[in-house]
Structure 1
Amino acid sequence: MDDFMQPARAFLDWFSAWPGTTFHDDIEIVDLRDRGAGRGIVAKRDIPVDTVLFTIPRKAIISTTTSELGTLLPSIVQVPDDQNEDEDDEEKDVESPSEQDAWTSLILVMIYEFLRGSQSPWKPYFDVLPAVFDTPMFWTDDELRELQASPVVGRVGHAEADKMIRIKVLAFMRIYSNIFFGRTGVPTLGDDEIMELAHRMGSTIMAYSFSLEKDEDDEGSGSAAKTEEQEDVEMDDGNDVANERQNGEEHKHGPDCDHDHGHDSDDDSDNDLSGWVEDKDDKLPLGMVPMADMLNADAECNAHIAHGVDVLTATAIRPIRAGDEILNYYGPLSNGELLRRYGYTTEKHAFFDAVDVPWPLLQNSLAKQLQLQPAEAAKAAAAAEADEFEDPFMLDREFDEDEETGQLKAPEGCTSSTMLSELPPMLVRQARAFIKVALRQQQKRREKALASAPKSKQTGKNGKNSKSQTPPKTEKELVAAGLAHALKERLDQYPTSLQQDRELLASGSVAPGSRLHSALRVRIGEKGLLTEAIALAKKMEVDARDEAKAAAKADKDASKTKKSERRGDDDNQASGKRQKR
């Protein structure tokens, strides 16, 4: 344990050496491996709300504007104007090692500072950063199979990350090998070694970096780091840095650095790729923030990090008891997303669990209800689309969140084990739109076929139209049955049942914090949502059937009433005629 905590003690000494840093006497860095959490920060004594826990000057953050590499290679902080960027421009940028973005620029900075070793002012910080990660990017094929049919598997994105690293990091480092190797004194690394190091730094950034806001004033309400909007930034993120730096006299960076670096940002991006390159929500500058990333995080937090002009400040947002861990907030992420991005899961993140249901699966299931051929189903879907159909649909649960105290509350009647109160309204509307159009097209085909058929086939016995013994399903019944069938098919894609997974997790045979433990949490949450969605769809089907029966009975009763009224009229007329005679 002592060996494990030694780098943390050295890191705290180093952190305290930076002018402008503070670290409250009532908190400490501790070993939390018994909780499966590595190192973390806990309260030594009760801490009142609004207590400043620690502060970090922006000069202590690792970024393109604080690292020596930004001075040596100004191009890594200069991003071309992308106001009129189109898809071709984006693809061109991806293919060019000369044009860096916020993500790859920080990877290059991290590699450079790491290679500098003891020459880097951030050496003690690197010593507490992990060298091994539990994100699925680093799982074996057997371990990934434990995630079963989770959408997380398709979003690992190792191939995309490899491509980006080869084009933008490896090629760039080869061009400037005199800086990355000659200047640092490190022997030139081979391609595989650079790829491995870049993956390590990319994963470090994925798990620990912050999007750096800049408030208008120190007392402003800066957003907590890693908020939902700025949660995680992708590899091909763009970033407008206001202070474009020019070549000039070398500047020494470190604790005594007096170089003032500003950060501006431009929120304007919307890419959707896989893995690392998928998580772009904004164009805020990225940085590694010592001490802030020492905080672990959960769905319920008790600390908030505000971004001031010169410093970042961690503050208690509610009273913290002695012995409690101080927790940050990474956003409303499902356990699947938490695992993919940060390599762990928590019980409380079950509030945010989610699972995808692809539209083609739903469309095929709805089509089966009407016995449509694939071409007919595709035609109905195309005709039903006012705009593009949503695909996939995400099932997730509702929750109430107290932003001031960082606490969660399930809606009335809901807990983290009862996740759904209703099916997504858009899912139901989209299914109804498809069924409505399909029924209309089916009726037109029936009428056309009937019109062209011989008269003898148009009628039944006695020349009257034959009637089906079983009334056709109503639109609502078809929708509900199709949804229930599709959701069951989605659940069946997982080879084990929800009950089996719950029993395995409860057996105690799976080590907490292990990769299998994380996989179990992920798939249990997803299967739970699907199971509840199936129950809701089946209830919808029963309700629709009862409604149809009630309507049919009402029609039948109305028909009987009309017949009785007609018979009464006929009897009255007959009686009147007899009286006249």
Structure 2
Amino acid sequence: MEDYMQPARAFLDWFRAWPGTTFHDDIEIVDLRARGAGRGIIAKKDIPVDTVLFTIPRKAIISATTSELATLVPSIVQGADQEEADGADDGDEEGDNEDTSKQDPWTSLILIMIFEFLRGDASPWKAYFGVLPAVFDTPMFWADDELKALQASPVVGRVGREEADEMIKTKVLPVIRAHSQVFFGEGAPLDDDAIVQLAHRMGSTIMAYSFSLEKDDDEDENDEKKEDEDVEMKDGDDEHEHEHGPDCDHDHGDDSDSDSDSSGWVEDKDDQLPLGMVPMADMLNADAECNAHIGHGVDALTATAVRPIKAGDEILNYYGPLSNGELLRRYGYTTEKHAFFDAVDVPWELVQHHLAEQLHLLPAEAAKAADAVDVDEFEDPVMLDRDFDEDEETGQLRPPVLEGEEAGASGASSTVLRELPQTLRRQAKAFAKVALRQQQKRREKALANAPKSKQTGKNGKNDKTHAPKTEKEVVAAGLVGALTARLAQYPTSLEADEKEFAQTPAGRLHSALRVRIGEKRLLTEAVALAKAMLTEAKAEAKAEAKAEKLASKAKKNDLRGDDEEQPSGKRQRR
């Protein structure tokens, strides 16, 4: 029977033998498969805050500055001069004919990882490759039936297998073919399909484990780095930093790079900082609440305890304020605490449709109103997410406490959407304002041109069966309709999903259920808020109508009083 921990022991021996590394005696690498987490690092004894857990010298990081491939094929390094690349002696007769000067940090590191992996025993990082996964649970590798379990989650549209295939075939495969001897030596070259599969594996490895590496101090004297400066996990755009929400805001891509609208791990290469694979740092699992911090100095990276860690506790890193959907897409797993950052998209087209429906607008009228809307920083889709405070010093989360409330215990059970996004309300209000103004103009024009008999009802009074709605009513009713329709895009109910989740073992279906449950909870909370808005808007409209009616009645009574004070014509004749 295969010893699951043997590669980890070999890796630890290799790590300790590397000059400049440290590994604290009170921590150990263990098998955490019973928790559904693979390998991880735990504390053997109580560990005080600020304890250095381990140290990784920069020379141990796999990157363009440490791999021999950067010397053999200089053009794979981002920003390399094409003339230098063309003149490099790479030992291959085919020469450097491909356009490799446009390699970015992602494709550069993919090529480096493939090169080092294919070297086998000759690679300084062979023991490290032994603990890196060969199989991933990210949706990119799911079968179609497995993807269907995500239902209407925005994750489905962001898997990006086709985009990744295209990038590999245009930027990775040509380099390997042009430098076949460098990559394969005297061995038989892999066929194209095998190279593409290997590139997918390395791309997913980079997605899950690489770090963005800041410039060394000696590269720029003006960019001095503090010894405790953060090294962020490479987890894509800042948009999903709730803004987050993660984006989080996820937002997913404010970068100007042309790939910012693509999907899968392709889109996450927008950050142009160099990337590196950091042995031991990536042995740490991660959660929304962490107890360890990865910092960097000029010569080494260090893992430090950010709060006291009890014996038996797992040492956890932090990947950022990512929703469970985004955590699954990037890293292939979900956690209960990442429900703090759950997020779901609401397409603006859906909101606009339901706003127009409230006003009985024709498609052309709705389009005209949409064109006239003037909103700064228009957002589409609008992201629903919750607000939470993060304590950067202790790695803990604090749900917001409203006035009159008591602070609750940290955990996903305390997650509640407090208000609808301001962006959503602002855009809906702007559309409703324009549409109502246009509608009022059409109504006035129609009344002016209509025969008098058409302007009154049976009793000669104004017909109020089609009385216009207030702006607040339109906005609230439109949001209720749009959010309800977005929730209805998931074919199963929240209650059914929660019941199935409780009976489903860890695995891909379990992760898919957790993602869609979090999104449905958000939408359910959003619908409740929109309904409360509608109830309030109707109450205000009713109160205003009542006030106007009383004012009108009072005015009529005043007029009658004035008439009674004056003698009638008949009395004058008497």
Counterparts of 1:474 and 1:442 in 2: how far apart (Å)?
A: 12
Q: Which residue of 2 aligns with 1:381?
A: 370
- Written as runs of structure 1 = structure 2, the 5 A alignment for 1:325-474 is 325-387=314-376, 389-412=378-401, 416-417=412-413, 418-453=415-450, 455-456=451-452, 459-460=455-456, 466-469=462-465, 471-474=467-470
Q: Which residue of 2 aligns with 1:541?
A: 534
Structure 1 residues 27 and 461, CA gap change in structure 2 (3 angstroms): closer
Correspondence 1:526 to 2:519? yes
- Written as runs of structure 1 = structure 2, the 5 A alignment for 1:132-531 is 132-182=135-185, 185-214=186-215, 219-226=226-233, 269=257, 271-280=260-269, 282-387=271-376, 389-412=378-401, 416-417=412-413, 418-453=415-450, 455-456=451-452, 459-460=455-456, 466-469=462-465, 471-506=467-502, 508=503, 510-512=504-506, 514-531=507-524
Correspondence 1:43 to 2:37? no
The code of the aligned residue for 1:226 comes to: M
The code of the aligned residue for 1:23 comes to: F
Q: Deviations over 1:271-321 (max 9, x none)?
A: 231111212452211000000000000000000011111100110000000
Counterparts of 1:18 and 1:232 in 2: how far apart (Å)?
A: 37
Q: Deviations over 1:326-378 (max 9, x none)?
A: 00000000000000000000000000000000001111111111111111111
Q: CA deviation at 1:475?
A: 1.0
Counterparts of 1:205 and 1:227 in 2: how far apart (Å)?
A: 8
Determine if contact 1:218/1:310 at 8 Å carries over to the other structure: no
Between 405-414 and 460-469, the greater mean CA deviation after superposition: 460-469
The code of the aligned residue for 1:302 comes to: N
**Aligned partner of residue 152 in structure 1, secondary structure:** helix
Determine if contact 1:396/1:419 at 8 Å carries over to the other structure: no
Structure 1 residues 499 and 325, CA gap change in structure 2 (3 angstroms): same
Determine if contact 1:295/1:328 at 8 Å carries over to the other structure: yes
Q: Deviations over 1:391-436 (max 9, x none)?
A: 0010001111111100011112576344210000110110111111
Structure 1 residues 371 and 80, CA gap change in structure 2 (3 angstroms): farther
Determine if contact 1:11/1:125 at 8 Å carries over to the other structure: yes
- Written as runs of structure 1 = structure 2, the 5 A alignment for 1:105-116 is 105-116=108-119
**Aligned partner of residue 446 in structure 1, secondary structure:** helix
The code of the aligned residue for 1:181 comes to: F
Q: CA deviation at 1:459?
A: 3.3
The code of the aligned residue for 2:477 comes to: A
Counterparts of 1:100 and 1:59 in 2: how far apart (Å)?
A: 22
Q: Deviations over 1:444-491 (max 9, x none)?
A: 2233334444x3455336996632146332111111111101111111
Q: Deviations over 1:259-282 (max 9, x none)?
A: xxxxxxxx9757231111212452
- Written as runs of structure 1 = structure 2, the 5 A alignment for 1:46-61 is 46-61=46-61
Structure 1 residues 61 and 461, CA gap change in structure 2 (3 angstroms): closer
Q: Deviations over 1:26-83 (max 9, x none)?
A: 00000000000000000000000000000000000001110010111111114169xx
Counterparts of 1:219 and 1:529 in 2: how far apart (Å)?
A: 40
Q: Which residue of 1 aligns with 2:92?
A: none
Q: CA deviation at 1:186?
A: 3.1
Q: CA deviation at 1:571?
A: 2.8
Determine if contact 2:355/2:432 at 8 Å carries over to the other structure: yes
Determine if contact 1:64/1:77 at 8 Å carries over to the other structure: yes
Determine if contact 2:213/2:231 at 8 Å carries over to the other structure: no
**Aligned partner of residue 301 in structure 2, secondary structure:** strand
Q: CA deviation at 1:96?
A: 4.3
**Aligned partner of residue 59 in structure 1, secondary structure:** helix
The code of the aligned residue for 1:154 comes to: G
Determine if contact 2:236/2:270 at 8 Å carries over to the other structure: yes
The code of the aligned residue for 1:47 comes to: I
Counterparts of 1:188 and 1:160 in 2: how far apart (Å)?
A: 25
Determine if contact 1:268/1:283 at 8 Å carries over to the other structure: no
Name segments (4+ residues, structure 1) moved above 6 Å: 227-233
Q: For the aligned residues, what is the CA RMSD?
A: 2.7
Q: Deviations over 1:61-115 (max 9, x none)?
A: 001110010111111114169xxxxxxxxxxxxx945531110010000000000
Structure 1 residues 341 and 461, CA gap change in structure 2 (3 angstroms): closer
Structure 1 residues 59 and 230, CA gap change in structure 2 (3 angstroms): farther
Gaps of 5+ in 1: 82-94, 234-266
Counterparts of 2:148 and 2:105 in 1: how far apart (Å)?
A: 33
Q: CA deviation at 1:231?
A: 7.0
Q: Which residue of 2 aligns with 1:245?
A: none
Counterparts of 1:482 and 1:459 in 2: how far apart (Å)?
A: 29
The code of the aligned residue for 1:550 comes to: A
Counterparts of 1:221 and 1:281 in 2: how far apart (Å)?
A: 25
**Aligned partner of residue 55 in structure 1, secondary structure:** strand
Q: CA deviation at 1:554?
A: 1.1
Q: Which residue of 1 aligns with 2:124?
A: 121
Counterparts of 1:127 and 1:103 in 2: how far apart (Å)?
A: 22
Aligned length: 530
Determine if contact 2:235/2:330 at 8 Å carries over to the other structure: no
**Aligned partner of residue 99 in structure 1, secondary structure:** coil
The code of the aligned residue for 1:500 comes to: A
The code of the aligned residue for 1:419 comes to: V
Counterparts of 1:218 and 1:29 in 2: how far apart (Å)?
A: 30
Counterparts of 2:361 and 2:441 in 1: how far apart (Å)?
A: 14
Q: Deviations over 1:490-534 (max 9, x none)?
A: 11111110000001112x3x112x000000000000000000100
Counterparts of 2:156 and 2:277 in 1: how far apart (Å)?
A: 27
The code of the aligned residue for 1:318 comes to: R
- The sequence identity of aligned pairs, in percent, is 71
TM-score, length basis structure 1: 0.86
Counterparts of 1:100 and 1:425 in 2: how far apart (Å)?
A: 40
Counterparts of 1:457 and 1:164 in 2: how far apart (Å)?
A: 69
**Aligned partner of residue 312 in structure 1, secondary structure:** strand
Determine if contact 2:207/2:235 at 8 Å carries over to the other structure: no
The code of the aligned residue for 2:228 comes to: S
Counterparts of 1:65 and 1:457 in 2: how far apart (Å)?
A: 86
Correspondence 1:566 to 2:559? yes
Structure 1 residues 565 and 449, CA gap change in structure 2 (3 angstroms): closer
Counterparts of 2:7 and 2:225 in 1: how far apart (Å)?
A: 31
